[in-house]
């Protein structure tokens, strides 16, 4: 897939544009749960032309399906950077990863990461990179001088993806909607609010790395004043029902001031990712909570439709759950990755 919606050059300056060396070798570490490898999967699916292979530790149980390469093999094939394709809880870089990361530097690769832990703060990586003349890219570093939120209404239109949980399709949905609308000739821009989106789009702000007082202000900066017919499609984060990440979701909601939102959900998921004792809320509850909280900065906020992640379902099963969800809620529902007539109806609602 290729992103058709543009990220304008001014936004790259305002939102911290990143010029990253490519092609990439995707590093999966020792990940055993696919939901924590969403960065790797996102790059494979939306920037596949920049990904030449994957590298993982022997204990890993997740694969993108790309060729397994050592850093030396990847460098010989033209790779320029090892990208950490993991988004684990807390954004940590465990000691078990360090030998592989040092090997990548010694093979001639730069390292790109979107973790909360910063590459430059790890002595062995910092010293090895300096010795070899390699670069360390930490994408979860907010731009300087972020303002607090003003709450003032901005020109242009905005759509935000929200979720019943983490890692179930908010980024994919925003990318697909931006691409689909752009294909119709609509002036639509994808706005990245997380590290994977930034790697795909080349610009954005990692909202979850911003000091809490400035997070809503960063969201305002992410989608500035625009032409009346312009639509910013903003990548959502977390969930208002997530015991750890709800504050990030709320700041993004208030700062984005969305006119429209699309609820993202994965049928069959029953527990919050990483918090098995918290049940996944209903779509209805997410709509109600989002409208209630979002009215603070945009009283006209409304739900445009539902995005369903039907990975693992057959075509018949996916069609059935899409039809049932749409009928139950009286809103268009679709799996953006499957596309089809249902997705075209969801795009209609975004207009």
| 293-326 CB burial, b ≥16 within 10 A, e <16 | bbeebbeebebbbbbbbbeebeeeebbebbeebb
Question: Residue 162: beta bridge partners?
Answer: 263
Distance CA 159, CA 303 (A): 9
Distance CA 230, CA 312 (A): 35
Helices (H), the chain: 9-14, 38-46, 71-76, 98-106, 123-132, 170-183, 195-201, 212-222, 246-256, 283-294, 315-329, 340-350
Query: If 0-12 CB within 10 Å is exposed, 13-18 middle and 19+ buried, where does residue 151 land?
Result: middle
Helices (H), 207-282: 212-222, 246-256
| Residues 107, 71 contacting (CB under 8 angstroms) | yes
- CATH architecture of the domain 157-350 equals 3-Layer(aba) Sandwich (3.40)
The pLDDT-based confidence of 229 (bands split at 50, 70, 90) is very high
Distance CA 235, CA 232 (A): 10
Per-residue confidence (pLDDT) for residue 349, from 0 to 100: 98
Give tens-digit pLDDT for 244-262: 999 999 999 999 999 999 9
pTM for this entry: 0.86
**Domain ranges (residues) in the chain:** 19-138, 157-350
Please say if the pLDDT value at position 14 is more than 90.
Answer: no
CATH class, domain 19-138, is alpha beta
DSSP 269: -
| Higher local confidence (pLDDT), 121 or 273 | 121
The pLDDT-based confidence of 18 (bands split at 50, 70, 90) is low
What is the mean pLDDT of the segment spanning 25-53?
Answer: 94
Distance CA 150, CA 153 (A): 9
Per-residue confidence (pLDDT) for residue 11, from 0 to 100: 34
Per-residue confidence (pLDDT) for residue 186, from 0 to 100: 97
Q: Could you give the percent of the chain with pLDDT greater than 90?
A: 88
Question: Residue 113: beta bridge partners?
Answer: 138
Give tens-digit pLDDT for 151-197: 999 999 999 999 999 989 999 999 999 999 999 999 999 999 999 99
| Residues 299, 256 contacting (CB under 8 angstroms) | no
Give tens-digit pLDDT for 91-146: 899 999 999 999 999 999 999 999 999 999 999 999 999 999 999 999 988 889 99
Distance CA 110, CA 178 (A): 30
Give tens-digit pLDDT for 46-96: 999 999 999 999 999 999 999 999 999 999 999 999 999 998 888 899 999
Comparing 19-138 with 157-350, is the CATH topology the same? yes
Per-residue confidence (pLDDT) for residue 17, from 0 to 100: 52
The pLDDT-based confidence of 35 (bands split at 50, 70, 90) is confident
| Residues 223, 174 contacting (CB under 8 angstroms) | no
Average pLDDT taken over every residue of the chain: 93
């Amino acid at each position: 897939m290729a992103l058709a919606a543009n990220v304008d050059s001014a936004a790259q300056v305002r939102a911290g544009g990143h010029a990253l060396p490519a092609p990439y070798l995707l590093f999966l570490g020792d990940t055993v749960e696919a939901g924590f490898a969403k960065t790797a999967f996102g790059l494979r699916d939306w920037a596949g032309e920049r990904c030449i292979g994957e590298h993982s530790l022997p204990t890993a149980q997740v694969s993108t399906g790309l060729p397994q390469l050592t850093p030396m093999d990847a460098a010989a094939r033209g790779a320029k950077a090892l990208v950490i394709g993991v988004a684990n809880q807390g954004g940590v870089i465990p000691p078990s990863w360090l030998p592989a990361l040092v090997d990548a530097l010694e093979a001639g690769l730069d390292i790109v990461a979107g973790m909360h832990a910063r590459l430059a703060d790890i002595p062995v990586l910092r010293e090895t990179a300096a010795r070899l003349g390699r670069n360390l890219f930490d994408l979860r570093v907010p731009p300087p001088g972020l303002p607090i939120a003003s709450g003032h209404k901005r020109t242009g239109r905005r759509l935000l993806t929200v979720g019943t949980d983490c890692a179930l399709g908010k980024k994919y949905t925003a990318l697909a909607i931006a691409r689909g609308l752009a294909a119709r000739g609509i002036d639509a821009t994808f706005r990245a609010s997380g590290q994977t989106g930034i790697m795909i789009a080349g610009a954005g702000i990692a909202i979850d790395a911003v000091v809490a007082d400035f997070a809503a202000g960063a969201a305002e900066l992410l989608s500035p004043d625009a032409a009346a017919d312009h639509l910013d499609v903003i990548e959502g984060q977390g969930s208002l029902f997530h015991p750890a990440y709800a504050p990030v979701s709320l700041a993004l909601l208030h700062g984005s001031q969305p006119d429209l939102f699309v609820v993202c959900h994965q049928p069959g998921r029953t527990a919050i990712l990483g918090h098995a004792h918290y049940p996944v809320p209903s779509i209805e509850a997410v709509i109600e909570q989002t409208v209630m909280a979002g009215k603070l900065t945009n009283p006209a906020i409304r739900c445009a439709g539902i995005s369903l992640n039907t990975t693992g379902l057959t075509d018949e099963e996916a069609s059935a759950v899409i039809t049932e969800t749409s009928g139950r809620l009286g809103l268009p529902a679709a799996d953006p990755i499957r596309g089809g007539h249902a997705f075209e109806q969801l795009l209609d609602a975004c207009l």
